Structures are given as C-alpha cells and as structure tokens.
Chain A
Amino acid sequence: MRLFASGLRKLSRRMATWVTFGLLAGLLVLIMVAVGATANAPRPSGQNGAAALTLVTFPGAYDAILSFILGLGGLFAVIYGAAIAGSEWTWGTLKNAVARGESRSRYILLSFASIALVIGIGLLLAFVVGVGAALVGANLAGVSTGGLNDGAALGRLPEQFARGWLAIVEEGALGFAIATLARSQLAGIGAGIAFYFGGTFAGIFLPDIVKYLPFSVATASVSTGTRAGGGFGGGGAQPAALDANTAIVLVVAWLIGSLVVAALFTERAEISG
C-alpha cells in the first residue's frame, strides 16, 4: 500500500500526467467548441454542418466523446506508460528501491497499478470536460441539449467506461512493458508510438492477424453496438474486428501478458547506472 500511494503521489506531481490530460481534454474542448461555433456558418454548396452537429447533440455526444477519449487516449496511454516505466531506468530510481531491499516485481506491478488508477481518473475527468464542452458547443450551435438525460445512453455509460478504461490500461501496459524492455524512456515512447501506428497500417494488409494485436482488440472491446470506439486513433474500425466480448478477453490477456513480461524482465535484469 505504501508503494501504491507513493506511486500516486509521484504521478500527481509529474508534468507528464498533466500534459497528457491537458492535451486530451484540450483537444476535446477545441473540437466540441469549434463544431458548435461553426455549425451554422455559411458553407460551400453541397456541404452542410448536420454531420458535425451530431458531435454536440445529446445523447449521441456521449458516444462521440467516449470515442474520442478512447481513440486518442490509447495513443496517449502508450506514451504515458512508456514514459513512467522508462524513467525508472533512465533516472536510476529503480536502483534505489532495489538496493533498499524492495521486491522488483512488486515495485513494478504497484507502479503500474497507480498508473492504471490515474488513467481511470484521467478518463473520467476528460469525459466530464468533454460533456461540458459538448454542452457549450450545443449552445453555440443552437442545438437542444434535451438528450443529456437520455436514460438508455446514461445506462450504457458505466459498461462502456469500464471497457474503455480496461482497453486504455492495456495500451498503457504495453507502453510500460516496451519501455521496461528497452530500459529507456525515449526508446519506450518511440517503440510504443511505432507499434501503435504500425498496427493501423499493418491492419490494411494483414487484417486477420492484426485484429488480435493489442491496439485492435482494445478498439474492438469498446465497440458495444454504439458509435463508441474506433474513429480517432490507431487500430481504428476494421472490417475484420473481433466482437466486443472476445476482444475484452484478449485485452485482459494482453494486459496481464504485458505486466508479466515487465515484471519478469525487471526481476532478472542487471541494474546499472
């Protein structure tokens, strides 16, 4: 518990935490407000703002916000996980804990547990910010916000949120494991981003294989028959995507696998520097 609480304190004081959250929430606000502000502007013939207005029209806006958070949030989670894990090696702080007799795998796993919690809090806050921004956008566009209290949409949210959190945490774990194997913050972030976008492009040519890879299963796991999922990031909607329930099982498998790899590698690693 001491280590978990310590992990949370460290993350809360870290610039990377606030920058990641700020980027996610900032982009969300920008899009929602921009959509609302420009929805009624004159457009060239043949174009209308109706499609864009669905982003700020409730209850569909809930799905749009989640889709954005879970899509871009996956990329951010990979980078964030890699940054936190890599810095332990780059700065040499893992060395301190090991030299004090701390269990290596316990340290790694509890560090990640604190990341998972911070990701959950970040997603929740980003969602709240997104809903606020969508309300502003709706008001700017003159769209009714009556769907805000739609019972069916609100009822779906907890499950969507839980699936989304698990998917994002899995992507964070992947970045965490890559940076641990690379023993480097920068190498971990670079490899995580390459893996993220590489998976998207590989999906064009090898959809039957790529659909089982971490980013694709994460995307598929949040597709609960609504518009949520896909859309905004790597591993976007793919024709060969798995069904959501199979995908969530694979998400958990990738999550556990990533953490086991990170813990085992750390347990056996020779720590220097």
Chain B
Amino acid sequence: MIGGEGLALATRGLQKSYGARTALAGLDLSVPNGVVYGFLGPNGAGKTTTMRLLTGLIHRDAGSIEVLGRPFGRRDRHRLFDVGALIESPAFYPFLSGRQNLRELAASGAPVPPGRIEELLELTGLRERAGDKVAGYSLGMKQRLGIGAALLSDPKLLLLDEPSNGLDPAGIVAMRETLRRLAELGKTVFVSSHLLGEVQQMVDVVGIIAAGRLVREGPIADVLDAEGTIRVRVTPAELERATAVLGAHLGSENLTVSADDPGWISVRASSDRIAEINRTLAGAGIWAIGLESGNDLEMLFLELTRGEPVASGEGTFFGTAGAQAGIGSSKGGLS
C-alpha cells in the first residue's frame, strides 16, 4: 500500500521513457477519494503518458501505481472495471451510431447495467442524435459520447483527458456540473485540462507536473493561497531600489526580477498583501506604476511550469508547503 487509505489513485516514482526521451521522471501523485482532481501541465509534460499508464495502455519502466487502493500492474486489468476513461481524442466506430457504439463498447470490460446506455445518452444530451452515425458527429458530440462511454460502467474513478475539447460553452458548464455531481456522489474524477480558469472553478485538488515530475499538489485553495504572486511595476530607474526595499520587507528569496520583463518585480505573496506592498514602496518614496494580483491558477501554472521541478515531489498531498519551486531563483520567475 503506497498511498494509504483514502486515496483513489496513487503513483510513486512512476517513470516512462520513449527511446531517449523521458516522459515521466518519477511521478508521485496522490488523488484522494471523492474529489475532482485537476491534473495540469504544459504540452509534453507527461499528462497523456500518465493517463495511458493509469489505464494500462502503455507499460511503465519503473515505479508503482495503485488504483482504488490496490496495486495496478500488467496482470491487474480487472482493476479497470471500476475505472472509466477518456484518453486523448474519443475513439469510435464511424459506421455505427452513437447508441450502437456504446452498446458495442459495453460488450468489453465490466458489465453494464440495463438501461445505462439510454441514461447516458440523456445525460450527455445526445439522445436526439443517438441513432446517427458517429461519422457525422461534430467534435463536441464525439467528446460528449466519449464522456458517456467513460461513464458506462458507473465507475468509481473517472480519468478524463482534456474533456472540454470541442465542447461549446454550454457543454463546458454542463460537463463541469456533471463532474461536480459525480464527486458529490463519492466518485473520484481525475481530469487533465488546459483550461485553467475552468479547472480553478471545478476542481478540489490540483496537481501540476512539468518535465515529467510533480511540481505542486494539494487542495486548490491551499495551493493558491500559498502560491499567490503579486507583480509590481516601477520605473526602470527605480527598479534596483524598489527591489532592495521589497527584499528587505519580504525577503529577497521571494522576489524575481526578469530581464525579459523590464520594470516588473514578481513577489511571492498572497493577493491580500497587495496594499501592504504598495504602502511599503510609497513609504520609501517609490510610486508603483502598476500592481497585479497574481493569485490565480494561470499565473501559478506559468510560474511553476517554466521553472525546474522541485526535487521532493513525492507525497505532497496535504503537505505542499515545503515543496515549492523557488520563485526567487533565476529560472523560477515570471518572464
């Protein structure tokens, strides 16, 4: 048991390479039961590789996986009977209708209760078009059908890779509500997405990976509180002095000045300290010409994924404070 009780999904030291390219370099995820978990990372960070490993589509080089509290390896495909997944783009037989595709998919894996297909067609808003061939479906409709397919066996754990792809705004809202409702029913939803605003609204817990390693994980409110960023702009002439003043007040390790972004100082501090920072500068006779509160997921994401991953990415759920990327380092700042 690597994850302890209460985890729907856990990985430890998960490694995967494709030839010389390392996709995952020791990934440690801890996904609690009954939450919506946002799995974030830039392109090529290893999100889809992780999803494929979690569904047994590819084989790990090293490390371990636990699914619903039990080890998951090559011979443990039955664990997936309690898992629903939408990996990459939804895949269907184009010559079959949406309903027929679900019916044929239901013939594999875990048994599907009678009436479940119609229920899912209703849930995904596809009932009207369920008899049409999938070849004629839009991307959004295929995505809805893919989500329906993932829910076929009423899974305890749902793995969704970019589920918002191709959905219209109403579809995104509906999906968000559906996933929240599933979490309220005690199911665990593990969702990767590039829509950070969407993730921020939807998830309980967030995990961010970069270069195949976890760089931050925890309840989203805690992560954002701990990782708030304030950006201050001063005139170039006052930049050095402003940096010294703020460094003295907040600690120089919490400041980043990037040559790519002249005049801006990034300060690691929660957004409620913005007035205090302004006052500190004013007290030293420096007038800020710009102030931005960066206490949102997008800024955090950009900051974390442009920097080096932290060495200790392991087991950071409920314990993120000590495993934060160095915002003050030359590589860790906002550009």
Instruction: Report A's interface with B, CB cutoff 8 A.
Output: 2-3, 5-6, 9-10, 13-15, 87, 91-93, 95-103, 107, 270-273
Contacts and interface: CB of A to CB of B under 8 A. Distances in A.
Interface residues of B, number: 33
B59 A270 contact: yes
A99 B87 CA distance: 9
Given A10-B104, A96-B105, A107-B108, A272 B77 contact: no
B81 A101 contact: yes
B149 A96 contact: yes
A100 B80 contact: yes
Contacts of A271: 52, 57-58
A55 B237 CA distance: 100
24 contacts: A6-B107, A9-B100, A10-B104, A13-B95, A13-B96, A15-B95, A91-B91, A91-B93, A92-B88, A97-B105, A97-B109, A98-B55, A98-B77, A100-B80, A100-B108, A101-B77, A101-B78, A101-B109, A270-B57, A270-B59, A271-B52, A271-B58, A272-B57, A272-B88
A271 B93 CA distance: 17
Given A10-B104, A97-B105, A270-B57, 12 more contacts: A3-B107, A5-B107, A93-B93, A95-B57, A96-B92, A97-B109, A98-B55, A100-B109, A100-B152, A101-B81, A107-B108, A272-B52
A111 B149 CA distance: 20
Interface in B50-98: 52, 55-59, 77-81, 83, 85, 87-89, 91-96
Contacts of B96: 10, 13
B158 to A, nearest CB: 12
Contacts of A96: 91-92, 105, 108, 149
Contacts of A273: 88
Contacts of B52: 270-272
B57 A99 contact: yes
A92 B81 CA distance: 19
Query: Which 7 residue pairs of A and B lie closest in terms of their CB atoms, listed nearest first?
Result: A100-B109, A92-B91, A101-B80, A6-B107, A102-B108, A97-B108, A99-B55
Contacts of A107: 108
Contacts of B79: 101
Interface in B162-216: none
Nearest to A91: B91
Contact of A99 (B85, B93, B100): B85
A273 B91 CA distance: 9
B153 interface: yes
A272 B49 CA distance: 9
Interface in B80-139: 80-81, 83, 85, 87-89, 91-96, 100, 103-105, 107-110
B153 to A, nearest CB: 7
A77 B59 CA distance: 33
B207 to A, nearest CB: 20
Given A100-B80, A101-B79, A91 B110 contact: no
Contacts of A102: 77, 108-109
B97 to A, nearest CB: 9
B61 to A, nearest CB: 11
Contacts of A15: 95
A96 B100 CA distance: 14
A98 B270 CA distance: 45
A98 B57 CA distance: 7
B109 A92 contact: no
Contacts of B92: 91, 93, 96
B110 A101 contact: yes
A13 B57 CA distance: 27
- Most A CB contacts (10 A, CB to CB) among B77, B79, B83, B103 go to B77
Contacts of A272: 52, 57-58, 88
A128 B77 CA distance: 45
